[in-house]
Structure 1
């Protein structure tokens, strides 16, 4: 592995191993190649036995695959993490203040800081939510903030996920498997634990129970069903929190409340952690052909009889065009300077930005405003002339549907591949919980692009995962 890479190498400082990686590197070196291969095979067998898969699309339909798991953890020092934690919490507070505002008076729009059409004509904006007062004024209760690193002290936010961010089960399973593979490291190194996340999530859900709740709140996870690509996570979290996993057909509305069908008779439900899209939540309010939701759910939500986490309409805050205004939200609502920086972004719907993007497509990363999972995007430097030309036509047809960003020099983390230890590009998704308090589990999900040179880390496109360690400086 080159010790002087083009990209920032999180393990090496010149020829020297960074102190944070010293213990884990020595442990792996002491294992030897043969033992390491056995441990890698054991970890893969555990993933297969547990059933940790993800749907990979675009190869003749959808295919359930084992998520590649890398034994080499990604390591941050506590001081590095403290800054990230402050920045993610700050951003989560600002995003929730924005959501409250745009579904009420819209002060940030009135002030001219954000164009009205970006908010009120946004396909993720839900008029049915206008004027609703969710508990504690919180709309996005689980915020997944995608971060990338470009240097020792340089971190950028790629995007915010305010609806139903996935991946936390992989964070927890990664840690479980690493503790099995190298228990002696966890005994000797001061690695911050992540196993409190399910308890913190349950506490957050209980904290936002509606005022009409009587006694201990009853929370459930609403899933689209076993065929959803993230179903493993839905069932995993329900099991870890000790709450019921339900489908729409398991719930019904009676008067001002939602009830769950059980073998003991109907049970009132106070909080629904929904893992289905807005459009399918309530066929009486959104898509009438939805078989996944609960008829009448929005009426109960509107009257304060149930809390939906995260709220319908929360997606207007994680739109990739709205993303460009999050630093302004921090200043407007919190009166603070943003701790974390946005990636410089061109909105193709603006004439000057459109011209720049069209003139520099081979150098840029272009994304659909509402795209996710690594789909609907162009990585200019990694694309052919034909692919660039084809994408240019898509942008011309609907410029407002695209944003563009420079191709960042994403940091690399050491990763075990067939040839041994090699640098691969990574990002990080910490999971921020917003209730009476704003809480962040130390670490998060590190996603790794398993293909050499690839910048696409998404599991849905073949990316892998690795454990994320926060260690004492």
Structure 2
């Protein structure tokens, strides 16, 4: 018999209130799911997975020396956020990205935030993403972060928190649009009866923001997407975004620098490139400035960039602001640069380079989430309540050897949303990655990528760790 589980008692249940009542914004979905039934849901889910394979909606998954291509599992039960909640989230995200952008400008210019004692100089200059080459470089429009993905979670009481800032080359935007396409195609009645906010203009908003960064305010600038190539884990996304924005998808070998300007050889002939939306890390951008063995970047690119003849989004060196240790300072950035109180709070975080924080966390390690400050994607992470003693002791040893490389947070039981599991709809833990676009203005694509931990009880939602995704509806 088809059922919809409402038994999530250890976390915030997105669909059901504690007394078992359907939350108002989920009522239409609940009623229609009961009408469709489990057998039909399974059939449509199977068709969607087949469609994803046919369309090549995949990513590369690496494990040891092995690499494989697979789809990100897509759950057909959408995550719904009411407009009142979204207004708060949206305002908080705009505030946060604005403060982070001010911080980046300050780090590479006057360093008031450091000099006034709000963060140690060592924390910045020893950061693996800090680029001395960017000091006193004026980036176009002072925009360091053209596109960001900020991870949002809810605690047991339903409060929203910022968990992580993804500012270098944030991924997942293509799946926001593909998820929406799949839902409108396979569940049109459900979708159009729910009055969901439109996301169709998202890629054009990103293109407009990239145009805003063009040097010398050039009309009709040439924009390209620089990819590491087809073996990159997010290559599908690179292809999709380039197609949607109508720009060239290029590799480093397609570009060359002459007279401190970047040129592309295309079927239309040689043309100057004004804006590069890059999807490769700083270290590979320019073999003359960074890693000399890189064959992915463009020799001389940084000279052209410093000369003001090309814009790069996101700006090189942006990663210094999405380091997990710098994350703890974002509320201070908001107060310092904007003179405002944070709308969205951080998850309480312990810096293990501090003796008192370290001693406390080591005494509670089995209850903590521990993360490497410079890693992402769910790598280098301990979830204490779900780890065995061997793993806990391994992390204890690593923390004692290199305490400054780690931060710790109390384990928050992520909110749970209805998810198709077998023939029933059961609760699975989720987070949310909204995407924020910054050019002359800051905008947020309505909704974002809801990531879901498909294994029952798991708190790890990362696609690289086996997580799936859902469409996100703002109603």
User: Where on the TM-score scale, by shorter chain, does this alignment land: which range?
Assistant: over 0.9
Q: Aligned pair 1:342/2:346, yes or no? A: yes
How far apart, in 1, do the equivalents of 2:156 and 2:25 lie? 16
Q: What residue number does 1:97 align with?
A: 102
Q: Does structure 1 residue 289 correspond to structure 2 residue 274?
A: no
Distance 2:441 2:308 in 1: 21
1 CA distance for matches of 2:191 and 2:39? 22
> Which whole-Å CA distance do the structure 2 matches of 1:4 and 1:33 have between them?
20
Q: Distance in 2 between matches of 1:48 and 1:24?
A: 27
Partner of 1:226: 230
Trace 1:250-269 onto structure 2 (pairs within 5 A): 250-269=254-273
Match of 2:335 in 1: 331
Aligned to 1:180: 185
Alignment of 1:363-442 (within 5 A): 363-442=367-446
| Distance in 2 (alpha carbons) for counterparts of 1:180 and 1:364 | 42
Give the conservation status (yes or no) of the 8 Å contact 2:352–2:358.
yes
How many residue pairs get aligned? The number is 470
Matching residue within 100, 115, 125 for 1:110: 115
Find out whether 1:128 has 2:133 as its counterpart. yes
Give the structure 1 partner of residue 40 of structure 2.
35
Q: Distance in 2 between matches of 1:456 and 1:189?
A: 29
Match of 1:49 among 46, 51, 54: 54
1:27, CA displacement in angstroms?
Answer: 1.2
Cα offset, 1:83, TM superposition = 0.2
Taking the TM superposition and a 5 Å limit, the aligned residue runs for 1:139-218 are 139-151=144-156, 153-211=158-216, 214-218=218-222
Q: Deviations over 1:289-338 (max 9, x none)?
A: 00000000000100100000001000000000000000000000000000
Tell me if 1:304 matches 2:308: yes
CA contact (8 A) 2:351 2:358 kept: yes
Mapped pair 1:453 → 2:457: yes
C-alpha separation in 2, matches of 1:55 and 1:448: 18
**Matches of 2:232 and 2:435 in 1, distance apart?**
21
User: Matched residues in 1 for 2:42 and 2:352: separation?
Assistant: 48
Unmatched 5+ stretches in structure 2: none
- Residues 216 and 290 from structure 1, CA distance in 2 versus in 1: closer, same or farther, beyond 3 angstroms? same
Could you list the per-position Cα deviations for residues 83-136 of structure 1 after superposition, in whole angstroms to 9, with x for gaps in the alignment?
A: 000000000000000000000010000000111111122111000011110111
Worse overlay, 231-240 or 24-33: 24-33
Match of 1:70 in 2: 75
Please identify, of 430-439 and 16-25, the stretch whose mean Cα deviation from structure 2 is larger: 16-25
Structure 1: runs of 5 or more not aligned: none
The question of whether the paired residues in 2 share the 8 Å contact of 1:57 and 1:461 is answered with no
- Distance in 1, matches of 2:243 and 2:30, equals 34
Cα distance in 2 for residues equivalent to 1:258 and 1:138: 20
Q: Deviations over 1:197-235 (max 9, x none)?
A: 110000000011112x64311100000000000000000
Shift in Å, 1:264: 2.8
Q: Secondary structure at the match of 1:393?
A: helix
Shift of 1:174: 0.3
Q: Residues 153, 391 of structure 1: CA spacing in aligned structure 2 closer, same or farther, 3 A cutoff? A: closer
Q: Which residue of 1 aligns with 2:363?
A: 359
Residue 14 of structure 2 is aligned to residue 6 of structure 1 = no
Distance across 2 between alignment mates of 1:70 and 1:444: 15
Do the aligned residues in 1 keep the contact of 2:77 with 2:420 (CA within 8 Å)? yes
2:21 to 16, 19, 22: 16
Task: State how far apart, in whole Å, the 1-side matches of 2:279 and 2:398 are.
Answer: 30
Match in the other structure for 2:277: 273
Instruction: Judge which range, 423-432 or 31-40, deviates more.
Output: 31-40
Residues of 1 paired with 2:400 and 2:273: CA distance? 48
CA contact (8 A) 2:100 2:321 kept: yes
Distance in 1, matches of 2:363 and 2:397, equals 13
* CA shift digits 1:264-289 (9 cap, x unpaired): 32111000000000000000000000
SS of aligned partner of 2:305: helix
